[in-house]
Amino acid sequence: GENVEQHPSTLSVQEGDSAVIKCTYSDSASNYFPWYKQELGKRPQLIIDIRSNVGEKKDQRIAVTLNKTAKHFSLHITETQPEDSAVYFCAPGGFQKLVFGTGTRLLVSP
Amino acid sequence: GAGVSQSPSNKVTEKGKDVELRCDPISGHTALYWYRQSLGQGLEFLIYFQGNSAPDKSGLPSDRFSAERTGGSVSTLTIQRTQQEDSAVYLCASSLGWGTETEAFFGQGTRLTVV
């Protein structure tokens, strides 16, 4: 089965700083690499994803980078804002069940 | 509906009673998942339905838990003889195609409290 790990488990930054969260996985067949954001008391929602034929994707202040050889991908958030405070989950996908990473709690202080 | 719908939103039950949680996925989505999330914790995989294939039940924590999906649409998660440790938010998600290669859309969850 897929083993998915995220680091760090918690991350505290000052508003305006950058934040990086890393996800490592074990299944070399994975070919879809999404990040989900879960705000307190709400459901997880997709914020950005990348497929294995692309190394990097940006959407305004967020980006995802992929290193398939090393089997990890990362979420980058620049110019962090208090509303970025949430738990972030990765969920590398292939042809088996969808397994989420352990989650990273990001706290952005004003 | 436009999104994944779960019912009830909240359920309080006495220890030892059975409960049924319902999930209505987005129309046309062939993949459906159930997860359990305890307070402040991650998303624990329970079960995965994909089209007409046999479900992946590898995440069900005990034989008190079961799930079915009728007609490739609505799913019901049943917990028999509930225990206090079953208290959590139960989330359902659905997605297109083979599921794990496309965006998963979550319902709002059912908060189960066993007293």
The pLDDT assigned to B1 comes to: 54
Tokens of B62: 């005990």
pLDDT of B99 > 60? The answer is: no
Please give the span between the terminal C-alpha atoms of chain A, in angstroms, as a whole number: 41
Q: What is the reported pLDDT for B100?
A: 61
- State the average pLDDT over residues B38-67: 93
Given an 8 Å threshold on Cβ–Cβ distance, is B101 in contact with A44?
A: no
CA closest to B49 among chain A residues = A97
pLDDT digits (tens, 9 = 90+) for A1-46: 578 999 999 999 999 999 999 999 998 888 899 999 999 999 999 9
Q: Mean pLDDT of all residues in chain B?
A: 93
d(CA A100, CA A45): 13
Q: List pLDDT tens digits, range B22-48.
A: 999 999 898 999 999 998 899 999 999
Question: What is the CB-side half-sphere exposure of residue A43 using CA atoms within 13 A?
Answer: 22
**Cβ-Cβ contacts under 8 Å, B56 against chain A:** 96-97
List the beta strands (DSSP E) in B9-102.
10-13, 19-24, 31-37, 44-50, 65-69, 75-79, 88-95
- Tell me what percent of the residues of chain A surpass a pLDDT of 90: 79
Asked if residue A53 has pLDDT above 80, the reply is no
User: Which DSSP helix (H) or strand (E) runs through A89?
Assistant: strand A86-90
Q: Cβ A98–B100 below 8 Å, yes or no?
A: yes
Which residues, at least 6 apart from B93, have a Cβ–Cβ distance to it below 8 Å? A98, B4, B32, B33, B35, B104, B105, B106, B107
How many CB atoms are closer than 10 A to CB B77?
Answer: 24
pLDDT recorded at residue B98: 63
CA A16 to chain centre: 19
Give CA separation, A30 vs A94, B42, B59, B95, in Å.
4, 21, 20, 17
